[in-house]
Amino acid sequence: EVQLQASGGGLVQAGGSLRLSCVASGFTFDDYIIGWFRQAPGKEREWVSCISNTYGTTFTEDSVKGRFTISSDNAKNTVYLEMNSLKPEDTAVYYCAASEDGIISRSPARYTSWGQGTLVTVSS
């Protein structure tokens, strides 16, 4: 069974940093694409970043590019999202998700397994 556990959220001031972690289990970790999504109150869930261990590539949404960095530690079955220079508009519940089809996508529908989410709140 594919399971994902997101953690690392919290309350930070604008300009601060957080590192989110997504621990995966129940599947061959490096065969999946792991994505980070976020959802703010009243807004749709949006793609933030993803990593493909198969292809050795990462992709990040333009609004956070240069501030957020996705990485993985395959030995720990963990994907990280390092978030720097946080802004109030980054406030959201952040979710990690796994896609098994091998297709890199921004669409939540492509991701078949989801973590429970971790709340990031950025104050001004």
> Confidence class of residue 118 from pLDDT cuts 50, 70 and 90?
very high
pLDDT tens digits for range 40-68: 999 999 999 999 877 789 999 999 999 99
> Confidence class of residue 104 from pLDDT cuts 50, 70 and 90?
confident
- Write out the DSSP string of 56-121: TEEEE-TTTBTTEEEEEEGGGTEEEEEE-S--GGG-EEEEEEEE-S----S-GGG--EE---EEEE
Is 27's pLDDT higher than 90? Answer: no
Is 9's pLDDT higher than 90? Answer: yes
pLDDT tens digits for range 61-96: 999 999 999 999 988 999 999 999 999 999 999 999
CA distances from 11 to 14, 15, 66, 87, 91 (A): 10, 12, 21, 12, 9
